[in-house]
Amino acid sequence: MLVPIEWLKDYIDPGVSLDEFCDRMIMSGSNLETCEVFGGDIEKVVVGRIEAIEPHPDADKLVICRMDVGQEDLLQIVTGAPNVFEGALVPVALHKSRIPGPLYGQPKQEGGVKITKGKLRGVESYGMFCSCSELGFEDKVVPVAHRDGIWILPDDLTPGEEFTEALGLKQAVVDFEITPNRPDCLAMVGMAREASATFGRPFAYPDITMEEENGEGEAADRIAVEINNSESCRRYVARVVTDVKVQQSPWWLQKRLMYAGMRPINNIVDITNFVMLEYGQPIHAFDIRQVRGGKIIVENAKSGEVFTTLDETDRTLSGDMLMIRDAERPIAVAGVMGGLNSEIEADTQTIVIESANFAAGSVRRTAKALGLRTEASARFEKGIDPNLCADAADRVCRLIELVGGGRVCPGRVDVYPSPQQAKTLDVRVDRINAVLGIELTREEMTAMLEGLEIQVAGEGNIMTVTPPTVRQDLLIEEDYVEEIARMYGYDRLPVTMPRDSNEVRTTYEWELRDMTRRTLCALGLNEIQTYSFVSPSSVDRVGIAEDSWERAFVRIINPLGEENSVMRTILTPNMLETLGRNYARNIEQVKAFEIGNTFTATDLNSDHLPDEEYSLCIGMYGKKEDFFTLKGVVVEMLKVLGIREPIFMAEHEYGPYHPGRCARISVSASDQMRAAGIEMEELGIMGEIHPDVAERYGLDGVRIYCCELMFNAIIRKADTEVVYRPLPKYPATARDIALQVDEDLEVGKIEKVIREHGGSILEDVRLFDVYRGRQVEEGQKSVAFSLVYRDREKTLTDEEVSAVHTEVLKALKDNLNAVLREM
């Protein structure tokens, strides 16, 4: 919110320096972005009057002007400005003057531009005429009347006056950062109220008294208002002004708008914008000739209806958009922008002033759907007090009378179905002091609150407070605690340490994720992070089946593009993209992992929230990497998390992986799952990426190994509790066996049978060899295990070990047809 200090002083004089004003406003809760002082970088620029204009002898587009700049002799200046005329008052930059710039067609220079005399096509020029932009005003605030050419100044100035002094350009503008809960401060009156409370200075509201001497009847005789959607339009005030004269606004009005960041257009439009900035209440004016039937109707649009707004754009409306209509057609999008069919024109004689209150949600939805955000919609979206409507409309009429822009019809049309009342609340004096750590009396607090126009009643410890309706943020006791803190001064509040010692703790799930990160990093892997928004074609590239759950995408409503239009269901495509990117940059070996969220739509035809779970993906390639390298990483990681004896079962049909080099990773199910008939709980899948899939990621001929684990399942099975076990006192004995088994028999099944029948003395089982060759029959293979036996209570005898070992061999023979080979 840009607040010109000169304009602020129309309502309150803070009585302090600019620096102190800024500092104390910050400490009372009004944070500011910048504070700029304008006009100080303009030197030796004066008001000049064009006394005579002569053609340039050698240039058709240049003229020679004889200037009265308050000196004894006329000054000669050559210009190419198209809008100069004899008698015009213009800003003249004299020899050795300085202006902010930039000059026309040139970039802006730090420190401004120095102007000196020179020759233009052989004719001496002792200065330069200036445009608004050359004098430091941004293009967006240059008045419409001066956008093309030299700045033509008001007629009441005197030649030779210093330009900045004559127009009052040397002034400060403070840019306040307004939080969304304080829409009342998006107005000069709101900021003046804050300054009044901060500095304890008197505050005057704008003058809204009018003559209303129009003898042509009252406003109600010319316009009627009907609200058909009172939820979206809470109030509508209409006033009528006749004998309108559309002309340029007086300089004081233009100056306030320009320093507040708005472009002056004409007196009627400028006054509506002025009042919007002054009260925070958007105003619109209609040419009454274009309001057919003399009636304004507020109702929803007809679905599919096309309406042309003031920016000359055709917009297709939907049935939930609120519109302002006359008896036959729409004439404005409520709270957003007026229509081209009812705008103020040069010959407009009678206007209708609209000061209405529209619901924040309705305006926000409409502005977003139309892609049209305006100063008006930005204010309505934050919420505006409907009790401002009448005063704002009266203020517009007062200013129109003041600038001679028309005559105001007596009375107003005011439709206010449910007037908004102030909300009263009890707050406790001792509670405020306890929260803030201060000791203020009730009287001191009352003075602070009344300075903010909050009424205080009651007695003793209880203050019954009633805020002005414009303060829609004051709802609970804590809001008033904040008000007292602001007015007392944040810099004056005592600083104390918390009395309680609060231990900061992480969740068990977070600890497991962190433990996993540390373990994988220790194993030589690097952590990566990728985007959750992916392309729907990502699962196609990795060969996921059409009917797979991995295609249950959560779709983004407003994606940046098709490549970011859904949320990922698995991490493998992102991992392969990362590996492919590194391989393309000649990185010979990569070992990476990612722990990230995946999202699965639970019901594509409902509004149910998706399933959001953590997944872990590991990917690697390089000369020393193979299936068993990856398996070793997985086993060690699970071991650290307390998950021992994972089972690896061959998988032949999962699209991303090589059908002969892929395994599902499972663990024994919990007792609860076993009771439901589920013996194994799957953790994930690992293996070598299918060559066709690798080729799609630019990894032709490279063996890629990946693993994706459901981390939520790992969390359920993890057991990180460490139980001390003393070192064994008694020796172990090892027995090595070589088994001849069918080629397609999985090693995991063999290991499972050994463990099930090894009893309590079987301490460890390790595979140390797989052999295929001449000594093994075709269709068979030899697998060799080392079995370690130990009893922690005594030394095992050979007979005790043999008995268990024989039972293991028998079980292998009976269950798997595994035949013992001689070692």
pLDDT computed for residue 746 by the predictor: 84
pLDDT tens readout for residues 85-125: 999 999 999 999 999 877 766 667 777 889 999 888 889 99
Q: What is the mean pLDDT of the chain?
A: 91
- Report whether 258 contacts 368 (CB < 8 A): no
Mark 196-228 as b/e (b = at least 16 C-beta within 10 Å). Answer: bbbbebebeebeeebebebeeeebbebbbbebe
Answer yes or no: are the C-beta atoms of 247 and 241 closer than 8 Å: no
- The whole-angstrom separation of Cα 594 and Cα 616 is 6
Mean pLDDT of 402-427: 93
Q: Is residue 501 pLDDT above 70, yes or no?
A: no
Task: Pull the structure tokens for residue 521.
Answer: 């990093």
CB 95 within 8 A of CB 64: no
Q: Can you give the pLDDT at residue 215?
A: 60
The SS3 of residue 754 is helix
Tokens of 764: 């460890």
**Banded pLDDT at 671 (limits 50, 70, 90):** confident
β-strand 32-38 against 171-176: which pairing, if any?
antiparallel
Q: Is 679 exposed, middle or buried (0-12, 13-18, 19+ CB in 10 A)?
A: exposed
Beta-carbon contacts of 301 under 8 Å, excluding residues fewer than 6 positions away, are 307, 317, 318, 319, 321, 322, 323, 330
Rounded average pLDDT over 354-381: 93
Residue 500 has pLDDT above 70, yes or no: no
> How high is the pLDDT of residue 112?
82
How does residue 495 score in pLDDT terms, banded at 50, 70 and 90? confident
What distance in Å separates the CA atoms of residue 425 and residue 485, rounded to the nearest whole number?
18
Q: Where are the alpha helices (DSSP H) in 565-687?
A: 572-584, 627-640, 671-675
Give yes or no for a contact between 90 and 150, defined as CB atoms under 8 angstroms apart.
yes
Tokens 């172990």 appear where?
Answer: 732
Amino acid at 591: K
| CA-based nearest residue to 38, from 255, 308, 274, 244 | 255
C-alpha closest to that of 419 among 386, 393, 391: 386
Any residues with CB less than 8 A from the CB of 105 and at least 6 apart, and which? none
Q: Which residues pair with 112 in a beta bridge?
A: none
What is the pairing mode between strands 407-408 and 351-358? unpaired
Query: Is 60 exceeded by the pLDDT of residue 604?
Result: no
Helix ranges restricted to H, 355-438: 360-370, 375-382, 389-402, 429-436
N-term to C-term CA, the chain: 88
Nearest CA among 590, 609, 588 for reference residue 600: 609
Contact 382, 183 (CB under 8 A): yes
pLDDT at 597 over 90: yes
Q: Render pLDDT for 701-726 as a digit per residue (tens, 0 to 9).
A: 999 999 999 999 999 999 988 888 88
pLDDT number for residue 232: 94
Q: Look at residue 529 in the predicted model and tell me its pLDDT.
A: 95
Q: What is the pLDDT of residue 106?
A: 66
pLDDT band (50, 70, 90) for residue 675: confident
Q: What is the pLDDT of residue 149?
A: 86
Look at strands 526-527 and 590-600 and give their pairing: parallel
- Looking at the chain, the number of H-run helices and the number of E-run strands are 21, 40
The closest of 532, 513, 525, 519 to 619, measured between CA atoms, is 525
The reported pLDDT for the residue numbered 105 is: 61
pLDDT at residue 579 tops 70: yes
State how far the Cα of 454 lies from the Cα of 446, in Å rounded to an integer.
9
The mean per-residue pLDDT over the stretch 438-443 comes to 94
Does residue 752 register a pLDDT over 90? no
Look at the pTM and tell me if it is higher than 0.85.
no
**The dihedral of CA 473, 475, 479, 483: what is its sign?**
positive
Torsional sign, CA 236, 239, 244, 245: negative
Distance CA 310, CA 339 (A): 5
Residue type, 215: G
Place of tokens 């990728």: 530
CA pair distance 394, 572, nearest whole angstrom? 66
DSSP codes joined into one string, 223-245? -EEEES-TTTEEEEEEEEEES--
Instruction: Residue count of the chain, please give it.
Output: 823
Bridge-partner residues for 778, per DSSP? Answer: none
Regarding predicted confidence, which is higher, 201 or 496?
201
Residue 492, phi then psi, degrees to nearest 5: -95, -10
Label residue 823 by pLDDT band (50, 70, 90): low
User: What is the reported pLDDT for 625?
Assistant: 93
> How far does CA 733 lie from the centroid of its chain?
67
Residue 565 pLDDT level (bands cut at 50, 70, 90): very high
Arithmetic mean of pLDDT, 628-647: 92
What does the pLDDT read at residue 60?
A: 87
Specify the DSSP element, H or E, that contains 690. none
What percent of the chain is modeled with pLDDT above 90?
A: 74
Cβ contact 402:245 at 8 Å:
no
The continuous run of DSSP H or E covering 573 comes out as helix 572-584
Which two structure tokens, joined as six digits, stand for 279?
């009260």
Cis check: omega of the bond before 731, within 30 degrees of 0: no
- Which distant-in-sequence residues (6+ apart) come within 8 Å of 674 by Cβ? none
Residue 198's pLDDT band (cuts 50, 70, 90):
very high
Q: Shortest CA distance to 731 belongs to which of 786, 787, 785, 796?
A: 796
The CA radius of gyration of the chain, in Å to the nearest whole number, is: 41
Residue 161 in tokens? 């006056």
Q: What is the pLDDT of residues 293-338, one digit of tens each?
A: 999 999 999 999 999 999 999 999 999 999 999 999 999 999 999 9
Amino acid identity of residue 8, one-letter, is: L
Express each pLDDT in 130-147 by its tens digit.
999 889 888 889 998 888
Q: How far apart are CA 302 and CA 321, in angstroms?
A: 9
Q: Which residues, at least 6 apart from 101, have a Cβ–Cβ distance to it below 8 Å?
A: 108, 109, 112, 113, 134, 136
Res 231: pLDDT: 94
More confident residue, 502 or 131: 131
